[in-house]
Amino acid sequence: MDDCIFCKIIKGEIPSYTVYEDDVVKAFLDISQVTPGHTLMVPKKHVQDIFSYDDELAQAVFARLPKVARAIKASNPEIKGMNILNNNGKVAYQSVFHSHIHLIPRYGNNDGFGMKFEDHSKQMTDEKYKEIQQAIVNQFK
């Protein structure tokens, strides 16, 4: 796509600190560096978000995640863990609409990365869980 910043990075029209590249994906340092080593892995094929992948592309792209994650972790003994995130849609904090996976190395609890999971289980009932479950299960029919 002509006006896509990640397509331009893939084509080399915009420079990037590339850490891995093959025929399917490119992985490069995120400009923001939430933590040191924060990397984005993107499919070379322009797809907007997770909802646009077909099985073949998904298999090819996501199969490459562990080796990129391992390389980042092995690059610095201070890396203790890693958050792997994929934002889909503006509401989910997606700001670049070429699908990408964030690999965010973790050094400690106060290393610059934060995430909040609210527990709403007290507002749930067996009926509500089943209603949500069924609505999703129905999509596979």
Find the binding residues for ligand 5GP in span 68-87 (CB under 6 A).
87
Residue 49 interacts with ligand 5GP (CB under 6 A)? no
Residue 88 interacts with ligand 5GP (CB under 6 A)? no
Nearer to Zn ion, 46 or 73 (CB): 46
Nearer to ligand 5GP, 5 or 132 (CB): 5
Binds ligand 5GP (CB under 6 A): choice among 32, 59, 75, 76: 32
Integer-rounded Cα radius of gyration of the chain: 18
**Where does residue 89 fall: left (phi above 0), alpha (psi -120 to 50 degrees), or beta otherwise?**
left
Write the DSSP symbol of residue 3: T
Binds ligand 5GP (CB under 6 A): choice among 28, 35, 39, 104: 28
Known active-site residue 100: yes
Task: Show the tokens assigned to 77.
Answer: 């003994």
Residue 16 interacts with ligand 5GP (CB under 6 A)? yes
Residue 103: closest CA among 62, 58, 51:
62
Task: Show the tokens assigned to 34.
Answer: 């939430």
Distance CA 34, CA 2 (A): 28
Residue 111, phi then psi, degrees to nearest 5: -95, 5
The site partner of 31 among ligand 5GP, Zn ion, none (C-beta below 5 to 8 Å per kind) is ligand 5GP
| β-sheet bridge partners, residue 105 | 82
Would you please indicate which residues are annotated as catalytic (active-site) residues?
100
Summarize as ranges the residues that interact with Zn ion (CB under 5 A).
Answer: 1, 4, 6-7, 46, 98
